[in-house]
Chains A and B, each alone.
Chain A
Amino acid sequence: MRITRTGLATLAVGVGLAGAAQAAQWVDFPGAFPDFPCQDGWMACIVDGASVSPELVDGPADLRLTWFDLQPTRSFDPFGGLSAYVGVLEENDVPPAVEQDATEAQRAADAAQAEDAARREAEERDAARQVAADEVARQRDAQVRATERADQLVREAQSASAADQQRLAAAAQVERDAAAVAQAAQREAEAERRRQEEAQAAAEAQANAAREAEAERVAKAAHDAEAARVAAANVQAGPVDCTDLTGLELNASLGKLNDGTIACLESRLSAAPRLTEKKKISLVLMANAWFKGDKKSWESLVKRHFDEIGQSDPDLCYKYALYLSTQGPGRATGVIRWANVALENRTAWTGDTFTSRVYSLYKLRAVASKGLWAVAEERHAADASEETRNRVDKHRNMTKVNAREWYEYAKSAGKDPASALSICMSAAGTKDYCEG
């Protein structure tokens, strides 16, 4: 409402001005078209390289500020001098009268310039004279103060008696002796401090050496004890028999297969002619490593299983993908790969297992893609290049596709699709793609 009122008021003023402009002649606006618009009374001049004349160019010639944004015009500075005339006039081309006018104008301009320069020089001379007078006054004051102080010192020296002079000399000698003693004591203290530091450093080095030796001894003893225990266990167990895989499953499920059994299983795995046999042994070894908590070994065993035995077990692929997803964004590529492999073999599942695991695999893929995309974006923001931009596009598209698949599956399986839609929209930038 306020804007409307302001607009109407502006409109009324504009209409009023327009009516007035229509009614009047241009000679009625001497302020807008002055005969001599230049600052120094000239009819035309050059200011900052632009000509100023009675003609209306972008406002009245003598306007100091622009109408709309109050910016300074070329006539803003009333103290600006005329620019020097840079044109070259050919003598033959100039009519005598014009030439005379120009000469007179030039002469007047020169006179004005000379007068201005003389005035500026006089001002500068006055200022310099004032500064010099101030400096002289300061120096004179300083000289007077120094003279007074010297006189005072001479008077004090003359008034001192011979006894006082002797007393002062003795006091000075005592002071010198005390300073020498203090200096010697300080040197001695410094030397003592250095000796103590050296002794302390030597003691610390000795203690460190002793500690290291003790730690080595303890570690060696522990290692020997472990070796002895394993040897004793092997001796007690007798020859290791690992042919009964079913019998080993219980211990493997508790992570309690001993080193001898593991070594036996490894040798059997290497020697087994059939993949089914290899698979059974590998599953026992993987179960033992997992339940023992040795995730590094488990990961190596799973990789070997996938490389040498097969990738058709969706449970194992799913478990491996899930495990990798807990290892940070650096393993995201592996998560996507093994989630895809698991999804290829999802027909092995049925019922709720199928629904929950497929949903979980789609989710794993989308979240891992999102992680890759975020990392790519961070790198691109830190150091943008064609390569980083391509990587961003690639991972964003992957996120978009994976999130949309997750969203579609979540909707059809009756699961909550909110997170899937959120990732999809984040990657696609629009809801249309995800819901289309």
Chain B
Amino acid sequence: MTGFLAPLMFAGWAAAGADKDCGVPVTVRVVDAASEQPIASAVVRNRSEQDRRRVNTETGQWSDCALYLPDGTELLIEKGMTLEFEISAPGYTNQSISYLVRRRKNLISVHLTEMVIDMSDEDPDDIVIQFGRDKPID
């Protein structure tokens, strides 16, 4: 009866950081770099996956403990894995991050900066509409 004491202890020690039905939970929190407010429309995409995961619209957070690969396999996130995320939101510049999974407290805060497209070089006043006369040949 006592023969399994040691393995039991080691198994418990190993399982302390990760649920046996799931991997190590990883949370990505996406906020506006200027206002520090959560971005409700942000999505998080792991490079191994094909799907984009939406963040919670209230908290701006996405969290999971496994990756769902295109071939249907479920890859549990484990300590020591390197995860590569691409975080995007409409109107914001994309950000790619690489993260080494720790045993616990895997909270990644991502600050997206607003995308500014300069439209000042186009002005409708600069476009001259020719009248209906035939244009002279150069």
Distance, CA A181 to CA B124, complexed state (A):
80
B3 / chain A contacts, CB cutoff of 8 Å: 21-22
With CB as the reference atom, state the residue of chain A lying closest to B51. A429
B-to-A contact residues, CB < 8 Å: 1-3, 5-6, 9-10, 12-13, 16, 40-41, 43, 45, 47, 52, 57, 86, 88-94, 96, 115, 117-119, 121-124, 127-133
Whether A21 touches B6, Cβ cut-off 8 Å, given contacts A69-B16, A378-B41, is: yes
Chain A, interface size category, equals 35 or more
Contact B127 A286 (CB under 8 A): no
Which residue on chain A has the smallest CB distance to residue B4?
A21
Does B131 contact A287, Cβ atoms closer than 8 Å?
Answer: yes
Interface residues of A (CB under 8 A from B): 10, 14-15, 17-18, 21-22, 24, 26, 29, 56, 67-69, 245-246, 249, 276, 279-280, 283-284, 286-287, 290, 313, 315-316, 318-319, 322-323, 325-326, 360, 363-364, 367, 370, 373-374, 377-378, 380-381, 384, 396, 399, 419, 422-423, 425-427, 429-431
Residue pair A280, B132 in contact (C-beta under 8 Å): yes
Q: How many angstroms from the CA of A350 to the CA of B131 in the assembled complex? A: 19
Q: Is the CB of A325 within 8 A of B90?
A: no
B90 CB to nearest chain A CB (Å):
4
In the bound complex, residues from chain A placing their C-beta under 8 Å from that of B45 are 429-430
Q: Do B86 and A429 touch across chains, with their CB atoms under 8 A apart?
A: yes
Task: Note all chain B residues with C-beta closer than 8 A to A370.
Answer: 90-91, 115
Please, which residue of chain B has its CB at the minimum distance from the CB of A69? B16
Chain B residues within an 8 Å CB radius of A29: 2
Smallest CB–CB gap between A413 and chain B, Å?
14
| Cβ-closest chain B residue relative to A416 | B118
Residues A26 and B93 in contact in the complex (CB < 8 Å), given A14-B6, A17-B9:
no
Q: Interface majority SS on A: helix, strand, loop or mixed?
A: helix
Q: Quick one: which of A14, A24, A283, A430 contacts B131, CB cutoff 8 A?
A: A283
**Count of CB-CB pairs between chains A and B under 8 Å:** 127
Contact of A319 among B6, B119, B124 (CB under 8 A): B124
B132 A283 Cβ-Cβ under 8 A: yes
CB <8 Å contact, A380 and B2: no
Identify whether the interface residues of B are mostly helix, strand, loop, or mixed.
Answer: loop
List the 3 closest pairs (A to B, CB-CB), nearest first.
A18-B6, A280-B132, A377-B41
**Given A14-B10, A380-B41, is A319 in contact with B1 using a C-beta cutoff of 8 Å?**
no
Asked if A323 and B91 make an inter-chain contact with CB atoms under 8 angstroms apart, the answer reads: no
| Measured CA separation A319–B1 after assembly (Å) | 86
Cross-chain contact B127 with A430 (CB below 8 angstroms) = no
**CB pairs A–B below 8 angstroms (10 shown):** A26-B1, A287-B131, A322-B127, A363-B119, A377-B89, A422-B115, A426-B90, A426-B91, A426-B115, A427-B90
Cβ–Cβ contact A426 & B92, under 8 A:
yes
Shortest CB–CB separation between residue B95 and chain A, in angstroms?
Answer: 10
Of B93, B115, B118, B129, which is in contact with the most chain A CB atoms at under 10 Å from its CB? B129
Contact between chains at B1 and A325 (CB < 8 Å): no
Rounded to whole angstroms, the CA-CA distance of A245 and B89 in the bound complex is 52
Q: Hey, which chain A residues are within 8 Å of B5, CB to CB?
A: 17-18, 21
Bound-complex Cα distance A367 to B115 (A): 11
Which residue of B13, B115, B123, B124 is within 8 Å of A10 (Cβ)? B13
Please name 15 further chain A to chain B contacts, defined as beta carbons within 8 Å, in addition to the given A315-B127, A316-B129, A430-B47, sorted by A numbering.
A15-B6, A21-B6, A67-B9, A287-B131, A313-B129, A319-B127, A360-B121, A363-B119, A422-B93, A423-B117, A425-B86, A426-B91, A426-B94, A429-B86, A430-B45
Q: How far is the CB of B32 from chain A (nearest CB, A)?
A: 13
User: How far is the CB of A372 from the nearest CB of chain B, in Å?
Assistant: 9
Residues of B within 8 A of A423 (CB): 115, 117
The residue on A at minimum CB distance from B102 is A3
- The answer to whether residues A14 and B9 also contact, given A279-B132, A422-B94, A429-B43 and a CB cut-off of 8 A, is yes
Q: How long is the Cα–Cα vector from A113 to B131 in the complex, in angstroms? A: 108
**CB proximity of A433 to chain B, nearest CB, Å:** 11
Q: Is the CB of B122 within 8 A of A322?
A: yes
